[in-house]
Amino acid sequence: MPELRRDPVIDRWVIIATERGKRPSDFGSAQPRKRGGFCPFCYGNESLTPPEILAFRRPGTEPNKPGWLTRVVSNKFPALKIEGELEKVGEGMYDKMSGIGAHEVIIETPEHDATMGTMDKLYVVNTLKAYRERIIDLARDKRFKYVMVFKNYGEAAGASLEHPHSQLIATPIVPKRVLEELHGSQRYFSYKDRCVFCDMVRQELKDEVRLVLTSDNFVVFEAYASRFPFETWLLPRKHMPKYEHMGDDLIEELAEVLQRTIRKLELTLSYPPYNYIIHTAPLREPDDLEYYHWHIEIIPRLTKMAGFEWGTGFYINPTPPEEAAKYLREAEEGKVEEVAAANVH
C-alpha cells in the first residue's frame, strides 16, 4: 500500500509509492524509452487495460471492445489504491496516512497520432465531459477531498505513452498549491470583497498585452507573473468556483477555446512538451464559494532550469509574458511552415 507522508515543516503531502520501489539501476538510462508499434490504448487492445469506467461510444458497440471515441479506465500502475480504509497515523514526530485514492486515465481519442491541437473537436468535448463526469462521481466517495485533472504531453513533460491521454488522481488531501491559492484568494477577498481571478480577467481584458484569445465565456492570457516561458492561463469570464459545474454548452465552448490555445502553442513552439492542470475548488468546499474561480494552467516544458526553482519557489523566466502573448496571438494555421522554418536554426 502506498503512503501519503506529510512534510514536517511545510504543509505538503507526498505519495511514497512503496510498491514500485524504483532502485538505482532503474534510473540508469536518460534515453527516451524505445517504443515498438504496440500501444495498449489503441483499438483492439481494450482487454489490456483495466475495464472501462466511462466511455463515449459509437452506437451499438460493446464495452471494452473497439468502437469507443473516448474512454476512461483505471491506471494500471496507480500511484494510489482505491481499496481500503483511510488510516491516519503518527510515526514518531511525523504524520502519514494510507495511500487511498483513485488514479484514472482518460484516453482522449482512438487516433494514436492525433494531438489535442489537431484531433477532431468531438474528442476534446468528450474529454472535457469525461473530466466533469468523473469528478462528480468521485465526489460521492467521502474519503476524497480533491480530484486533480492533468495532462502530460511529450516525454519531457512526463508522458510515458504517446497515445493522447489525460489523467486524474483523487486524493484524501487537498494539494498544497490548491491550498495556497485558496488562502491567497481568500485573503484578497477579505481585503477587496472581490474574487482575485475575476479581477485578473478584467485587468487582462483591459491591458490586452498578455491576451492570447477570448470567446463569449472564456479568456486566455499569459500570466502576469509567469514562472515559465509561454505559461498560459485559461479562465471562465464569469465567476465559477468549480469545473464540474459547467453545462454542456459551456463545455463545447471550452473545448474550442482549449483546442485553439493548444494549437497556437503547437504552431509557435513546434509541438512542445507541456502539462496542463485544472485548478478547481476542493470537493468539500461550498458550491457557491465566493473567492475561488476554477481555471486551467498550461505549462510548456521548454527550459531545464527547474531544479533550483523547485528548491526555492523562485523562478527565472527568460521570456516576458507580453512577448509570448504576441507570438501566440499571431500563430495561425497558415503560418505553420514559417514558424517551423524559424525553429531549424
Type of residue at 321? P
Give me the phi and psi of 297, to 5 degrees please: -110, 125
Residue 148 in contact with its own copies, rule: CB under 8 A: yes
Total of residues contacting its own copies (CB under 8 A): 99
Residue 128, beta-bridge partner list:
none
The three grid cell numbers given for residue 104, joined into one nine-digit string = 484514472
Q: Which pairs from 45-54 meet CB under 8 Å and 24+ separation?
A: 46/71, 49/73, 49/74, 49/76, 49/105, 49/107, 50/74, 50/75, 50/76, 53/104, 53/134, 54/130, 54/133, 54/134
Which CB sits closer to its own copies, 53 or 265?
265
Q: Which is nearer to its own copies, 109 or 317 (CB)?
A: 317
Rank residues 55 and 240 by Cβ distance to its own copies and give the closer one.
240
Residues 34 to 53 in contact with its own copies, rule: CB under 8 A: none
Q: Closest approach of Cβ 126 to its own copies, in Å?
A: 22
Pick 60 or 93: Cβ nearer its own copies: 93
- Which of these ranges, 35-43, 65-73, 222-230, 243-251, lies near its own copies under the rule CB under 8 A? 222-230
In a 3-state reduction of DSSP, which class is residue 242?
coil
Q: Give the closest residue to 204 by CA, choosing from 187, 186, 218.
A: 218
Question: Are the beta carbons of 135 and 149 closer than 8 angstroms?
Answer: yes
Question: Which of 165, 279, 293, 295 is the catalytic position?
Answer: 165
Rounded distance between C-alpha atoms, residue 219 and residue 201, angstroms? 7
Write the binding mask 304 to 343 for its own copies: x where contact by CB under 8 A, - elsewhere: xxxxx-xxxxxxxxxxxx-x---x-----------x--xx
Taking the complex as a whole, the smallest distance from the CB of residue 53 to its own copies amounts, in Å, to 21
Judged by CB, which is closer to its own copies: 55, or 174? 174
Per CB under 8 A, contacts with its own copies among 156-215 are 156-158, 169, 171, 175-178, 180-181, 183-185, 188, 196-197, 199-200, 203, 206-207
Of residues 237 through 276, those in contact with its own copies by CB under 8 A are 268-270, 272-275
Residue keyed to cell 458550491: 287
Concerning whether 165 is annotated as a catalytic residue, the answer is yes
Q: Which residues are catalytic?
A: 165
